[in-house]
Amino acid sequence: MPARAAVNLSKYSDVLIALAIIMIVAMLVIPVPSWLLDMLLAVNLTVSVGIVLVAIYNQEPLEFSVFPSLLLITTLFRLSLNVSSARLILLTGEPGAVIKAFGDFVVQGNAVVGFIIFLILVVIQFVVITKGAERVSEVAARFTLDAMPGKQMAIDADLNAGLVTDVEARARRKAIEQEADFYGAMDGASKFVKGDAIAGMIINVVNLLGGIAVGVFIQGRDAMGALSHFSLLTVGDGLVSQIPALLISTATGIVVTRAASSGNLGQELVNQLLQQPRVLYLTGGAIGALGLVPGLPHLPFLVLSAITIFLGWQLQRSAKAREAAEALRAQSEGQVAAAADERKPENVLGLLQVDPLEIELGYGLLGLADQSLGGDLMERVVMIRRQTALDMGLVLPYIRVRDNMGLKPNQYVIKLKGIEVGQGELLPDHFLAMDPGSVLDPVPGLETREPAFGLPALWVAEADRERAELSGYTVVDPPAVVATHLTELIRRHAHELLGRQEVKQLVDLVKETHPAVVEELQRSFGLGEIQKVLQNLLREGLSVRDLVTIFETLADYGGNKDLELLTEYVRAALSRSIARQLGLTDKVRVITVHPDLENRIAQSVDRQAGGTYLNLDPDTIHRMINSLTRLAGDMAALGSTPLVLTSPAIRPYFKRLTERAIPKLVVLSYNEVDPNLELEAVGMVNV
């Protein structure tokens, strides 16, 4: 039955509210009997307490969006009660049991004390609470309106980015509009409370003066009797109206000063005020010290000090217990999640991921990568990636730097696709000094070898660094040693770092500026074929930065599928770039190949479906390598870089035959030599 009555009451709530407002207005002109006035005064007090509790338990102001209208209704209701009670006081002198009880019980029949308490309540409500709530409402309304455009733009940005749906965007816009309307309404509704305080004070003064006049001139009371009787009734009426008004003013202040939170006001106050046990300890100590001051009562301060310190101790215990429980739960959840993850096939697949390039450091070298300790290895790695793009046209993948406790403390390892391709040991507090051949005054140090090129070197202490530089040594710090080693390994294995995905990125880059070239190229070649040509160039240390020339040359010979021959065509088109990269200027000393040997190499080429092979006998290869080694040594003695010049037909195969014995030997064809260069043959390879 109660539930059904509540449903019916909610169903006709609009009619009941309309009737209630009409009755409130009617009370301003229609006399109300004393018993009904007692009931309505109790209703006023009950509603005021309920409004305060709703304001306390709300988490956001918009949850009580009807509050501005409710504020108007309660103010009007309170004023109608003031008018009805004033009418009964002046007409009968008996306004009801509630007003009389407040006059007799609350102020103990002392009209002067009651009037003073009434004035104090009016001052508290009018000067402190009402004025503060009015100001907060005004500022909140202004700031909310000013912030509306920015909030709406943020919603539009989230909607365009796909972070929210249309429905969510509309809901957020509606919430912003409701917030602006609410604070605007509160700015005006707070004026009702201010006017109510003023009106209540005026009504009580009128009641007092009018009651004295009625008692003396109409009821025939003496002046003191009339003053005593009507002053008690006036004070009781003032108190019974101002206490609900004070509650409503407090609710107004609570609503407009609340920020959005995850709990009600009570929970937030306790959580925020009592979250630091140290604060309670200090507070208890200060209060306890105050209780020991001579002349002050000891008991209240000492009791409060003990209670405060006890609360701090309890909070500290509960916090530790909560942290332990959370840690245990997190550990348990982590173990369960880890076990579940291990059973997921997709997480096992993640273990197959291999980094293209990575540097592993022993724990003694971690400072090289820690910027807070002055290490600049990470910055050098970034510069290496940039320089590789400029020099070779190769965009390196991310180079991972990590620690490896399995290494020696001062050891580092460089890995390519998970496989070690280089390693070395450093002395972090020393410098590597290398003799370029012009050192006259040797310096003391630990003998070692430079890891990138295997040259003899010394580890010298920091105190001997300047002396080593003055003696002619090339001195570098440990991060530079790692960076140089990494750069050399990248150059040596550049062709292995160029995959199909990287080739696609390069093709897309050229397509942005030269779409016609790329379209013609893609009609004849797939990504794999383009990749093989670029890898052939990188394998011999040539830059692929001039992609437009490379792609145009490939497009010119689109009908040819011999990748070795296509590479030679591209190399010929890059002749000036090759000459600049090798530093070839003016007169160039070269080693040539005997025509008979060239013919034997050309005749030994065996082209199969799976690739091209050389069927040259081992004895011929051995004699050729010996002849080439002798000539290269003679050329190096003259201060020139060994460079072999061959016909275009055999150049790639001659390079393939010699790269194991002389890895850094430069082999060019006649088509790749810039016509402006003057060639000088210093020897001929023969068998």
pLDDT tens digits along 192-221: 666 766 776 777 677 667 767 776 676 667
Q: Which of 30-39, 361-370, 387-396 has the lowest average pLDDT?
A: 30-39
Instruction: Report the pLDDT value the prediction gives residue 260, as an integer from 0 to 100.
Output: 47
One-letter amino acid at 438 equals S
Tokens representing 521 are 């190229």
CA nearest to 544, candidates 578, 518, 516: 578
- Each residue of 248-261: pLDDT tens digit? 777 777 776 765 45
Q: Which of 314-323, 482-491, 658-667 has the lowest average pLDDT?
A: 314-323
- Other CB atoms within 10 A of residue 454 CB: 8
Q: Over range 216-241, report the average pLDDT.
A: 69
pLDDT greater than 70 at residue 361: yes
pLDDT greater than 60 at residue 340: no
Tokens representing 212 are 């004295």
Give the C-alpha separation, 581 to 551, whole Å: 20
pLDDT greater than 80 at residue 480: yes
Fold of 498-573: Helicase, Ruva Protein; domain 3 (1.10.8)
Buried b or exposed e, range 19-45, using 16+ CB within 10 angstroms: eeeeebeebeeeebebeebbebbeebb
- For residue 411, list its beta bridge partners: 425
Do the Cβ atoms of 356 and 395 come closer than 8 Å? no
Which value, in Å, is the radius of gyration of the alpha carbons in the chain? 47
Between 434 and 273, whose confidence is greater?
A: 434
> CA 519, 522, 528 angle in degrees (round to 5)?
150
Q: Over range 275-292, report the average pLDDT.
A: 75
Instruction: Report the pLDDT value the prediction gives residue 11, as an integer from 0 to 100.
Output: 65
- Does the domain at 581-687 match CATH 3.40.50.12790? Answer given as yes
Instruction: Report the pLDDT value the prediction gives residue 94, as an integer from 0 to 100.
Output: 72
Instruction: Report the pLDDT value the prediction gives residue 423, as an integer from 0 to 100.
Output: 93
Q: What is the pTM of this model?
A: 0.52
CA distances, 291 to each of 232, 281, 296, 300, 378 (Å)? 41, 15, 7, 8, 61
Instruction: Report the pLDDT value the prediction gives residue 405, as an integer from 0 to 100.
Output: 86
- Each residue of 371-425: pLDDT tens digit? 777 788 888 888 998 899 888 988 888 888 888 888 898 999 999 988 999 999 9
- Each residue of 537-552: pLDDT tens digit? 999 889 999 999 999 9
Give the C-alpha separation, 97 to 114, whole Å: 17
> CA 44, 50, 54 angle in degrees (round to 5)?
145
Residue 661's φ and ψ, nearest 5 degrees, are: -75, -40
Q: Over range 108-123, report the average pLDDT.
A: 67
What three-state secondary structure class fits 229? Answer: helix
Q: Over range 267-280, report the average pLDDT.
A: 66
Instruction: Report the pLDDT value the prediction gives residue 130, as an integer from 0 to 100.
Output: 66
- Each residue of 672-683: pLDDT tens digit? 887 888 888 888
Q: Predicted confidence band at 1 (pLDDT cuts at 50, 70, 90)?
A: very low
Tokens representing 266 are 């009570």
Query: What is the SS3 assignment for 274-302?
Result: CCCHHHHHHHHHHHHHHHCCCCCCHHHHH
Q: Which of 22-26, 316-320, 471-475 has the lowest average pLDDT?
A: 316-320
- Each residue of 572-594: pLDDT tens digit? 999 888 888 888 877 888 999 99
58-62, 285-289, 485-489 — most confident range: 485-489
Q: What is the CATH number of domain 357-494?
A: 3.40.30.60
- Each residue of 91-107: pLDDT tens digit? 776 777 777 776 666 55
Residue 473's φ and ψ, nearest 5 degrees, are: -70, 150
pLDDT greater than 60 at residue 345: no
Report domain extents, the chain: 31-270, 274-353, 357-494, 498-573, 581-687
Do the Cβ atoms of 17 and 74 come closer than 8 Å? no
- Each residue of 145-194: pLDDT tens digit? 666 776 777 777 676 666 677 777 788 777 777 777 776 666 666 666 66
CA nearest to 43, candidates 87, 2, 73: 73
Tell me whether residue 671 is exposed, middle or buried, using C-beta atoms within 10 angstroms of its C-beta: 0 to 12, 13 to 18, 19 or more.
middle
Q: Over range 4-19, report the average pLDDT.
A: 66
131-135, 260-264, 429-433 — most confident range: 429-433
Buried b or exposed e, range 66-87, using 16+ CB within 10 angstroms: ebbebbebbbbbbbbbbebbbb
Percent residues over pLDDT 90 in the chain: 16
Give the C-alpha separation, 270 to 284, whole Å: 17
Between 534 and 52, whose confidence is greater?
A: 534
